[in-house]
Amino acid sequence: MNRMFLFLATNAAVVMVLSVVLTMLGFNRPGTSMLPWLAMTALIGMGGSFISLLMSKSMALRSVGAEVITDPRSATERWLVDTVRRQAEKAGIGLPEVAIFDSPEPNAFATGSDRNNALVAVSTGLLQQMNQDEAEAVLGHEISHVANGDMVTLTLIQGVVNTFVMVFASVIASALDRGNEREGGGRGMGYYLGYMLAQAVLGVLASIVVCWFSRQREFRADAGGAHLAGRQKMISALERLQLAHAPQLPGNMAAFGISGNLLGGLGHLFATHPPLTDRIDALRRSG
């Protein structure tokens, strides 16, 4: 509820402040108001993020072909469900759905629209290559993502930056087209070209902001996993991932995986996860 209020308040403030700024800069034509346009921009910017959030579980299940455990058919499946239940109770959240997806590489992810309507999925490779202590730590990491509300918070941030990108792209495009205003307020070609270019550039900058936050939340989830399963178990799980060189999950699921995409050089700015060595060092320092 607090995150929802923050989300709505932030976007409302963006709309109001930009309305005043654009009016002062002269982008508001006489006899018209920028407020409806800004409100619509905010609605579009936030709407896409929220629709993705609401559909996140079904999209995730389809993208990796995960199968939800409804009735455990083996000791491993029973252990998975029992471990997630125990950790969820300790973290104070509703019991997430538990799923397994077929992949030779060790990975796991959590997603869902809120703390009490989440999904935790693990790969067959993780169950085969990690011992029970390491798998328990990975589950604790994912449960911590849910308990911290990371899926919702990422959606809030994405919605805010989407709004900023669209609004400021229009501001820049309007500035480029001011000398070519058409009778009746029509837009010139310069506006549309400027808008597409500005949106592309600002979209890249916005991605850097979102990825920075994603990296910070991984440290918090590691700390949460250490709390739920044990610090040494969490460190061992991350060390196991160092040996596995697990590839990123498909599409937008990468940000929710245990290891995510690891990029070098300037590409680090677009990485959803910090290097595993940094995460291990952070856990060791916390002890």
pLDDT digits (tens, 9 = 90+) for 225-276: 999 999 999 999 999 998 875 555 655 555 556 665 555 566 678 888 899 9
Tokens at 150, concatenated: 């990371």
Sheet of 108-114: strand order equals: 67-68, 97-101, 117-123, 108-114
Distance of CA 103 to the CA centre of its chain: 22
Nearest CA to 61 out of 99, 94, 96 is that of 99
Spans of all domains in the chain: 1-178+186-287
Length of the chain: 287
Confidence of residue 59 (pLDDT cuts 50, 70, 90): confident
258-262 contacts, C-beta under 8 A, 24 or more apart:
258/106, 258/107, 258/108, 258/109, 258/126, 258/138, 258/141, 258/142, 259/107, 260/214, 260/218
Tokens at 127, concatenated: 């169950």
* Residue 223: predicted pLDDT: 96
The string of pLDDT tens digits covering residues 128-166 is 999 999 999 999 999 999 999 888 888 888 888 888 888
The string of pLDDT tens digits covering residues 160-172 is 888 888 888 888 8
This model's pTM is above 0.85: no
Tokens at 269, concatenated: 């700015």
Phi and psi for 113 in degrees, rounded to 5? Answer: -80, -20
Q: What percent of the chain has pLDDT over 90?
A: 40
Q: Is the dihedral of CA 211, 212, 213, 216 positive or negative?
A: positive
Residues annotated as catalytic (active site), given as ranges? 142
82-85 contacts, C-beta under 8 A, 24 or more apart:
83/135, 83/136, 83/139, 84/120, 84/139, 84/143
Q: Is the pLDDT of residue 221 over 90?
A: yes
* Residue 43: predicted pLDDT: 73
